[in-house]
Amino acid sequence: MKSRAHQQRSSGATESPDPQQYDSPQSEDFNEMSNDRQDASCQTDLTMDDIERMEDVLKQTTKELVDLRTKAMDTLFSQESFEKSEDKTTFYTGLPNVLVLMQVFQLCEP
C-alpha cells in the first residue's frame, strides 16, 4: 500500500498539509521551551544613560593614562631628555642649559 504523501505526489494533487498533523503535544512542549529561552536571553539592566556614563568614564580614564605616560617619560634622565627640555636641565642641575652641563661632564672625564 502506498503512503498518502506518495499518492499525492504521483497524482499531482496540491492539497494543503493537514494542520492537525503539526499540533502534537510534542510541538507544544517545544514552543513552551523556546519561549522560555527567548525570555531568558533578553536580560539587561543597563540603560542608554548607563552606557553613555560608562563611555565617558572610559574616555576620562584613557586621557588620564595618556597624561600619566607623558609624565613618566618626562621623568627619564637621559641626555636626550635634558636636550629637549632646558627647564629640566635648570631644575635638576642648576645650570642654564645642556651645553654648560656637557662642558662640566667633559671637565670631569679622566
Has residue 41 been placed in a domain?
Answer: no
Has residue 67 been placed in a domain?
Answer: yes
Number of structural domains found in the chain? 1
Has residue 110 been placed in a domain?
Answer: yes
Distance CA 85, CA 97 (A): 9
Q: Which domain holds residue 100?
A: 50-110
Has residue 87 been placed in a domain?
Answer: yes
Has residue 107 been placed in a domain?
Answer: yes
Has residue 20 been placed in a domain?
Answer: no
Distance CA 98, CA 86 (A): 7
Q: What is the pLDDT of residue 17?
A: 53
Q: Render each residue's pLDDT in the chain as its tens digit; 110 residues.
A: 445 544 555 555 445 555 555 555 555 665 665 555 555 556 678 888 989 999 999 999 999 999 998 888 778 888 888 888 888 889 988 999 999 999 999 999 88
Q: What is the pLDDT of residue 62?
A: 96
Among 92, 74, 72, 95, which Cα is nearest to 84's? 74
Has residue 91 been placed in a domain?
Answer: yes
Q: What is the pLDDT of residue 33?
A: 58
